């Protein structure tokens, strides 16, 4: 049985990524190392979402865990 994701923040996390590097976005909302996974999802049935940076830049990752464009923020937090 899968638990529901918790809202880590009602807004995006500005996050620096490096081209070609793979990151693991926290999908459960429980990580103490937001917006990336720290293993806190264990037992929740929610796995982190891996993504690879296309270029070195600042990206805005979803903090509310409700985005339709995960791991990126799509403004879903505005309706919470």
pLDDT 10s digits, 61-77: 999 999 999 999 999 99
Q: Mention every residue, 6+ apart, whose C-beta is less than 8 A from residue 17.
A: 23, 53, 56, 57, 58, 59
Q: What three-state secondary structure class fits 45?
A: coil
Average pLDDT, rounded, for the chain: 97
Sole residue written with tokens 């996390």: 13
Residue 33 has pLDDT above 70, yes or no: yes
Q: What is the mean pLDDT of residues 24-43?
A: 98
Residue ranges making up the domain that contains 40: 1-80
Distance (Å) of CA 14 to CA 4, 36, 62: 24, 12, 9
* Tally of structural domains, the chain: 1
Residue 7 has pLDDT above 70, yes or no: yes
The whole-number pLDDT of residue 12 equals 98
Residue 57 is given by DSSP the state E
State the pTM of this model: 0.94
Q: What is the mean pLDDT of residues 5-12?
A: 97
The whole-number pLDDT of residue 1 equals 57
Q: In angstroms, rounded to a whole number, what is the distance separating the alpha carbons of residues 43 and 51? A: 22
Whether 10 and 80 have beta carbons less than 8 Å apart is answered as yes
């Amino acid at each position: 049985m899968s638990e529901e994701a918790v809202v880590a923040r009602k807004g995006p996390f500005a996050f620096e990524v490096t081209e070609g590097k793979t990151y693991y976005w926290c999908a459960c909302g429980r990580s103490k190392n937001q917006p990336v996974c720290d293993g806190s999802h264990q037992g929740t049935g929610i796995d982190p979402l891996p993504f690879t940076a296309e270029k070195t830049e600042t990206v805005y990752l979803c903090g509310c865990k409700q985005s339709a464009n995960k791991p990126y923020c799509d403004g879903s937090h505005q309706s919470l």
